[in-house]
Each structure stands twice: as C-alpha cells, then as structure tokens.
A and B are shown apart, each in its own frame.
Chain A
Amino acid sequence: MSHNNQQLIDAANKAILEQQTRRHFFRECVTGMGAMAMGSLLGGCNWLGSKDQSGLATINTNPLMAQAPHFAPKAKSVIYLHMAGAPSQLELFDYKPDLQKLDGQDCPQSLLEGKKFAFIRGVPKMMGPQANFKQRGQSGAWISDHLPHLATVADELAFLKAVQTDQFNHGPAQLLMHTGSARLGRPSIGAWATYGLGSENSNLPGFVVLTSGGKFPDAGKSVWGSGFLPSVYQGVQCRSEGDPVLFIKDPAGMNRDLRKASIDAINEANRQTYEEFKDPETVARISQYEMAYRMQIAVPDVMNINDEPQSIHEMYGTQPGKSCFANNVLLARKLVEKGVRFVQLFDWGWDSHGTDENLAIDYGFVNKCRSMDKPVTALLLDLKQRGLLDETLVVWGGEFGRTPMQENRDGKKMPFKGRDHHTEAFTIWMAGGGIQKGVSFGETDEIGYSAISGKVDAYDIQATILNQLGFDHEKLVYPFQGRSFRLTDVHGRVINEIVA
C-alpha cells in the first residue's frame, strides 16, 4: 500500500515538473527582471540617494516628483525663445561695416568654393547690413535700431557671436538645437531637464511649449518630444487662445466628482496592470491621469492673462484673447513664477529669404523684430523686478544664421531683399540664470561670414543650459538599447566664458 502511495506522489511531482515549460520560466523571469529594473528606476527617484530607502516605503508612482540636480543650481527654470526660421544676425547683433563697402559686388569665389547653400546658386551679390547699428549700454554691445527696446537692456545680455551648426535646413537644424541630433528620435532639452528635475509644482507639467507665428516649427512636435525617455517628460503644448489645453474642460453634464470617480477607477485598473507587468509606462500613465485632473483647475488659472494688471499688459504689448508672441511671453513669465522648469517658445516667421514681402529683410523681418522686441524686453525687466531673473535662464536664438550674400534663388534676382540659410556663424544670447551680464563671446570675420574665435555649437549651448540647472551634461544619462544616452552625445563644453 505504502509503495503504491509513493508511486502516486512521484507521478504527481512529475506532472507538475512537466507543466513548468520553457514559457513558464521566461514569464517568471521577465516579471522578475521587470521588477528589478523598476527597482533601479525608482531608486533614481530616491531623493536622498540610495542609502536611505525608508523614505520610499510607499512606492512613489510620480515620475515628475521634484528631484535634486547634481550640484547647486544657478537657475531653477529656463525660458527658451526660439525664433523659428532663423533671424538674421547681420541685421540685429553682428555689426559688419565692412560688409556695407562690398554691398552690390559679386561674392568672391573663395567664399563659395566647396560650400553648399540651401538656395543660393551661381555667384550671388554681397549685401550690406540693412539696419543702423549703435553701441548700447555700459557694455557697448552693438544692437541695431530694429530692436530699440532690447537695446535699453543690453547690459543684461550675454552674446554668443560665433555659434555654428552643420545643418542648413530648418527641420534638422531645429532638431539639432533642441535634441542634440539632426535626426528624429532623441529627447528634447526640456524633456531631459524634466527627467532630471521633475516638476516643482505638482499641479503643472514640468515642460510647457507655446507656439506663435501661425505655423509650427518645421521639425514638428519632435523638437519638444521625449524621444526614448518615458513620454511623461515630453513638452505639454499650451495655447494662448481658447482652451489652453485641448479638451481640458469636462464635457457638458459631467461634474468634478464624476470625473474624479472615473479617473480613480481607471487608475485602479492601471495599478493592477502595473502589479502584474511592472511596466514603467503604466506608472507614467497613472500619474498623467492624476496630473490631468489637477491641471484642469491649475492650467486655466495660470494660462489666464486677463487678471494681470493693465501696466503689465502695456509693458508686454499683449493682445488678450488672441494668439500672439507677446501673450506667450507673458505666459512664460507666469509659468516660471509657478515653478514650471522649462518653457519653450517657438515663434515662426523669421525665414527672410526675400521671396515675398513677409519674408523680406526690409519689410517682414522688420515687422517680426517689432513684434518680438517689446515683449522680450518686458520679460527681462519683469523677471528682474520680481527677483526672478537670477534664477531664470532666458535663451534667445534661431536654428542657424543668414548669409552675408543676398539670396539669388535659382540664380535669379529676387523680388525682395533676402538672405539665405547660413551655418558658419550666427548669434544667440542668454540672460539671467547665473550668466554674466553685458558680455560678448566669440567673433566673426569682417563680413560676418565665418567664425574666427570663440566658436560654440548646439552641444555647447545645451551643456551650458544643463550646467546652469545644476547638471553635469556628461552625467545626465538614460539607459536605452544597451547603452547610456545623453543630450550632448559625445560632444559639448560648458561655455564658462559667459557663466558668472
């Protein structure tokens, strides 16, 4: 009898072992691995470093929780004003009187040999500066009459006069400027900053994008995308007209309590899914639902510029109710005040080829300058009087510069004056956020064609922005496809010459 029992037990054990197939092993293994990966991911969020795990007893499901940078930051937020289309440095900041002497002459062959331009063909004519320049402030910075307001705050700015890029088309050049790669797929600088720092205000996203000028930047939404970072870090695009975020209002007939109940139910389901599969994207989804709920109140509040006093509206030159650059600039200030880390503004319309009046260097370009000058100046002064300029880094620039030659698309004379895309030298300025005041770094040659000293590129600018936020750009990394990626890839140097 006992012998018989033993046989039965053996047979049962064997049956169990047979059921444990290869598939079984992989499944167990994968959840095991997933849990381990999650553990290390959350370890990264542990705000007191790995040695104190007790603070994490309740698992933090918020990937946007505020975090400390590598070292004490000089800037807490960044406002990046991108003039999409690339404004002409030769009409704004890079004064070249010698270029005026060459005005109307044929471009020397030495400047054309071996070079590629987006539209210039054959031998173009040189074109002198189409603006009057003066030295401004104590620092003696050259700023043209196109920017009468900005000229009054010249001593707050730090100019980079010899920025270079290797992309002469808008899309790739914008991607390079904002994601560190001319090709799609990398996270943008705002996404990296949010990944590193989280959001200081739990009711608002860490990274907000505002566009104006009637068109998106040529590179599309990828310039504020999250690439391979979890999607929770991508820029949240807000509108200055109508609802700030599409579908932010509850539909008619749905009240706040019902909304809360439905979000709770969805999150409960997501939480169970997370328990089972441990996919970090599920955590991102839970926190996005929760933030969306809080944003329904907080965003319309912060995005409403009507409550600002009249003096502020006059200062910025806003047009309440409309969608315009000035409104976006004022919003940027409000967002930063509320603890948003990275505000990215894109203003389209600076692509002054001379193909029509709006894109003419002596018409449309001047009007773009007028619409940008006052709000940007107001932003700097308003941040200053609120005591925020010290901790807010303002960056202004385009994706490349413009040629000292007049554009001759297809070798023909153009209806209006214009300049072609130029990669070898252009101007970007920074202000506030621990950057020196009233300095200029880098020089171009007598006609502003090439950089001769103090050359910097997109990676250097990215490294400097991260540095001001308290990050070593070489150490802010994200593991993806088997290696650690960083914004500046294998490049980048902090431009210490302009860091205070």
Chain B
Amino acid sequence: MFLFAFSDFIGRFHPLLVHLPIGILLFTIVLQWLSTKEKWAALQSVIPLGYLLGAASAIVSCITGYLLGSAGEYDETVLNLHQWMGILTAFTAIAGYLFSHNQQNLKYIAFSILVLVSITGHLGGTLTHGEGYLTKAFSGAGADSVATKKALTNAQDALVYADVIEPILKEKCYSCHAASKQKGGLRLDNPDWVLKGGKNGAVLKPGNALGSELYHRVILDPIEEKHMPPKGRPQVSEKERILLEWWIAEGGDFKKQCKQLEQSPAIKQALSSLEQQQAKLDTDLPKEEVPEAPMTSINLLRSKGVTILPIAQNSHYLSANFVNLTQLEAVVLDALTSLKQQLLWLKMPKMQMAGADWKKLSALTNLRKLDLSYSNLDQESIASLSALKQLVYLNLVGTKINGTAMMSLKDLPALRELYLSGTKITSADFEALKKALVKTTIDTGGYQVATLATDTTKVMKR
C-alpha cells in the first residue's frame, strides 16, 4: 500500500520534470545551430553535455510519466502514444550524445528531436487540459459558451437532462470526466456512463440528491479536497446547483421534459432564466466587426449637441442620444444615416420632425434599440420602421400611434420589447398585436398605484 502511494507520489512530479528535457534539448539545438557560425564555434564542446543532460532528464521524465499514467485516469490511446513518443525522444537524445562528433548526423538528430518534443509535448498537453485546448482560441471561446449554454425558447418544454443538466455537466465536469480523461474512473458524457459511476461506485442515486456523490461533492465546502469541481476550476453556480439538486431529487430521469417534474418557485425561476439568456444574447453586441465610423459625421453630430459614443471601449458600434434636441437640421440627419453600419442604439425622445425626415430612419438597418417616446412620429412614417429588421427594443411611449399603424410592424422578427403606453392603441388593438407579435413583450402601461387609507395616515400610540 505504501509502495503504491509512494509511486503515485513520485508520478505526480511528472508535470514538473517534463519541462527539463524540453528546455534542455531545445536549448542544445539552439546552441548547436549557433556553433556552426564562426563566432560561436567554441560552443561545439558543450553540445555533447547538452544532449547527455537532456537524455538523462528525459529518462527521469519517462519513469515518472509511466508511474503517473499507470494511475489510470487518462485516455488510453493518447496516453499510449504520448508514452512511446516520450521514450523515443529519450533514445534520440542518447543518440545525440553518442554521435555528437558527427556534424552531419547530428543535424538529423536535432531535427528529429525538435519534431518529437513538439509532438510529445502536445500530446501531454491534451492529456492534462483536454482535447482541443490549444486551438480553443480559434474555434472561438464565444462559440464554445454558446454551444454549452444553448438558450431555450421554452424551458418548460425542454428536456430536463439533455437541455438543462447536460450543458452544466459539459461546462463544469467534462474536462476531467469525459472521453479524453476519466479522473476516478468516472465518465459523465452520456447517460450510461453517468449511471455506471466511477471506481468507487455509483455517483447518482435517483431521488436522493444528498446521497448522490454527483451532487454531494458540489456542495462540499470548497476547501475540502473532495469538493468538485476542484479548486481553481470554474465552479457550479447557485442556479446550476439548485437545478442539479432538483433533477436528482425528482428521480434523475434522462428522458422527461421539465414540465413533467414538480417545480418549486425557485426552480421555475431558474428554468425561466435559461430562457432569459436568449433575450440577453439578442441585445449583446453583434459578433461581426464593422469599420470605424467616419469621424466627420461624428464631429458634426457632437457639434450639434448629440451625445454619440461607442457602446463599449474598443468597439466601433455606436449609441446616440438626442437628449437635448427636439429639432433637427437636414445635415444632422444625413450624418446620422451615414453611421448606419455602426449605430445600434438610438434615443430621440420628444423629437419633432417632418414625415419625410422620419422615413430616413429606415436606412438605419442595424439598429437594436430605438426610443422615439413623445416624438411626433406619425401614422404614415411608422411603416418605414418595418425596415429595421434587427430591432429588439422599440419605445413609442406618448406618440400618436394607433392600432392600424402599429400593425405594419408585425413583421419585425427580432422585436422583444415594445412600449406603447400613452398611445392611441385600444385594448382590441392590443389583443391583435399580441397575436401578431408572439415573441414580443408588449407594455401598454397605464399602471396605477391605488391610494390606500394607510398611505395617508399614521399609526400613533393611544
């Protein structure tokens, strides 16, 4: 037992020691290349020593690596390849020492070592950090998080496991418990593996969240060694925790829909917040890059008192607010439409413009948020807004818009929030609009806070 523990202990030095042969051998190759130059010729005498040290450290790495690998928490095929590549590297380094007198041979050896070290190192990296770690930046971190946090259109219809639980496991557990690595012999990347459990037995006890290791490990105090995910790794959030608990407590089923399981208010909330993520993604900045906005237009707008600035630092997307302006000159409107690629958010409260000028807004096809509250936007001009296909938020509070005019906006595909308080929209119009814009939250306002007797009286001691 002690021997086993000791070999395990030694094995854990592998991640530290591997860097020695990598460094020494690469440095030796650099020296070898330098030594071909006349100025550095004296370096030739240290080359054999470099290869000797490189070989020695490579052998030590191989031994510790073998001990670590036999603990058996890694993907077999990658591990095998990594092992043999490592051994080959060690042998090639020995060859480098033995043939160091022959300049020509040494060139080939150096080249082989360069290739071997790269491949072995990459395989080692794949073992520790998981598949695709190196190229993650190219596949796009954004794409990754979108894939794992797939937004749901209707959380109640979604599948409990596939749509709610699996994305959590994928994001927080797969890096150590999936195809490329199975710490503790546990794989979680499909229902069969989840049910099978790890080397210490089942991790899922349907109906008993606290008794299931899968949940129990998550709620352990983070300073406990058994706490999962381990310290330093992304942790399970509060929302994810209650969903996990709920899923196990409700039977740990892999097929059912959310609405088939009993839900407390907190769970309902957590589920619907998975839907909210979708709305949030829609109002975030678009992924596509746009060129910088023309400075002349911006300077012109600012000189007229428009607050116009990038939505975020290092972004070319713009927001504009006409907060102190109620009248516009034609040049200002032209400058504004010249920013049609960049302009995402536009506020023109109380703006008074001619119908022809309102129609010019239809050029701003990239707009996400548009606030025209209390403006004199008329019935005819509103139809031109139907060209704004990206519009998510539209504020027409206090305008003279009526139901017929509003119906011309029923084809806005991205619209999620529509504010119509204080307009000429009747309740019949409202019902028709609700049917036409199913994805849109329509607010017709008119809220009252009734005055209660207690609002104007005081409690006194009698």
Residues of A within 8 A of B (CB): 47-49, 52, 54-55, 66-73, 138-140, 148-149, 200-203, 311, 314-317, 337-339, 357, 360, 362-363, 366-367, 370, 373-374, 377-378, 381-382, 384-387, 390, 434, 436, 438-441, 454, 470, 496-497, 500
Contacts and interface: CB of A to CB of B under 8 A. Distances in A.
B164 to A, nearest CB: 17
Interface in B409-462: 417, 419, 421, 443, 445-449, 451-452, 454-461
B269 A384 contact: no
B7 interface: no
Interface residues of B, number: 53
B265 A200 contact: no
B239 interface: yes
Contact of A384 (B309, B314, B443, B455): B443
Residue with the highest number of chain A CB atoms closer than 10 Å, among B397, B443, B448, B459? B459
B285 interface: yes
A438 B269 contact: yes
Contacts, number: 138
A390 B461 contact: no
16 contacts: A55-B298, A68-B310, A68-B312, A70-B312, A71-B313, A72-B284, A73-B311, A73-B312, A140-B265, A317-B449, A357-B460, A367-B458, A386-B397, A390-B393, A434-B280, A441-B238
A48 B349 CA distance: 26
Contacts of A339: 307, 321, 323
A72 B286 CA distance: 11
Contacts of B371: 387
A385 B461 contact: no
B417 A387 contact: yes
Contact of A363 (B238, B298, B456, B461): B461
B3 interface: no
Contacts of B280: 434, 500
Contacts of A362: 459
Nearest to A453: B238
Contact of A317 (B305, B313, B321, B451): B451
Given A48-B310, A52-B295, A366-B459, A500 B273 contact: yes
A381 B323 contact: no
B273 A436 contact: yes
A114 B285 CA distance: 52
B449 A390 contact: no
B321 A200 contact: yes
Nearest to A470: B312
B443 A54 contact: no
B373 interface: yes
Given A71-B312, A363-B459, A370 B307 contact: no
Given A201-B324, A382-B447, A387 B395 contact: yes
B455 A317 contact: yes
Contacts of B312: 68-73, 470
B243 to A, nearest CB: 13
Interface string B227-247: 000000000011100000000
Contacts of A377: 449
B311 A72 contact: yes
B154 interface: no
Contacts of B419: 385-387
A436 B271 CA distance: 12
Given A148-B454, A370-B455, A381-B449, A357 B310 contact: no
B103 interface: no
A373 B456 CA distance: 11
B324 A203 contact: yes
A403 B421 CA distance: 44
B321 A387 contact: no
B315 interface: yes
Contacts of B447: 315, 381-382, 384-385
Interface in B296-311: 298-299, 305, 307, 309-311
Contacts of A363: 459-461
Contact of B265 (A70, A139, A373, A374): A139
Given A72-B284, A439-B269, A454 B238 contact: yes
Contacts of A367: 458-459
Given A66-B307, A72-B284, A387-B397, A54 B295 contact: yes
Q: Most chain-A Cβ atoms within 10 A of its Cβ — which of B323, B395, B397, B449? A: B449
Interface in B263-288: 265-266, 268-269, 273, 276, 280, 284-285
Chain A interface helix/strand/loop/mixed? loop
Given A52-B295, A68-B309, A363-B459, A374 B449 contact: yes
B321 A68 contact: no
B324 A148 contact: no
A368 to B, nearest CB: 10
Contacts of A202: 305, 307, 324
Nearest to A475: B313
Contacts of A52: 292, 295
Given A337-B349, A384-B445, 16 more contacts: A68-B311, A68-B313, A71-B312, A139-B269, A148-B452, A149-B455, A314-B451, A317-B449, A363-B459, A385-B397, A385-B421, A385-B443, A386-B445, A387-B373, A387-B393, A387-B395
A340 B175 CA distance: 46
Interface centre among B239, B273, B313, B393 (most CB of A within 10 A): B313
A337 B395 CA distance: 13
Contact of A55 (B276, B295, B307, B459): B295
Nearest to B265: A140
Contacts of A497: 237-239
A287 B32 CA distance: 66
A202 B303 CA distance: 12
Given A66-B309, A201-B324, A202-B305, A385 B295 contact: no
Contacts of A381: 447, 449
Contacts of B397: 385-387
A157 to B, nearest CB: 12
A495 to B, nearest CB: 10
Contacts of A73: 311-312
A93 to B, nearest CB: 15
Contacts of B310: 47-48, 68
Given A72-B311, A202-B307, A339-B307, A387 B295 contact: no
Nearest to B239: A497
B415 to A, nearest CB: 13
Q: Top 8 closest A-B pairs, CB basis?
A: A385-B445, A387-B419, A381-B447, A387-B395, A140-B265, A385-B421, A68-B310, A497-B238
Contacts of B298: 55
Contacts of A138: 265, 268
Contacts of A200: 307, 321, 323
Contacts of A441: 238
Interface string B104-131: 0000000000000000000000000000
B349 to A, nearest CB: 8
Contacts of B266: 440
A233 to B, nearest CB: 18
B306 to A, nearest CB: 10
Nearest to A376: B449
A314 B456 CA distance: 12
A454 B266 CA distance: 14
B241 to A, nearest CB: 10
Contact of A201 (B314, B323, B393): B323
A69 B451 contact: no
Contacts of A315: 447-449
B276 A500 contact: yes
Contacts of A54: 295
A386 B460 CA distance: 38
A314 B451 CA distance: 8
Interface in B39-98: none
B421 A386 contact: yes
Contacts of B417: 387, 390
Contacts of B460: 357, 363
Given A68-B313, A387-B397, A55 B299 contact: yes
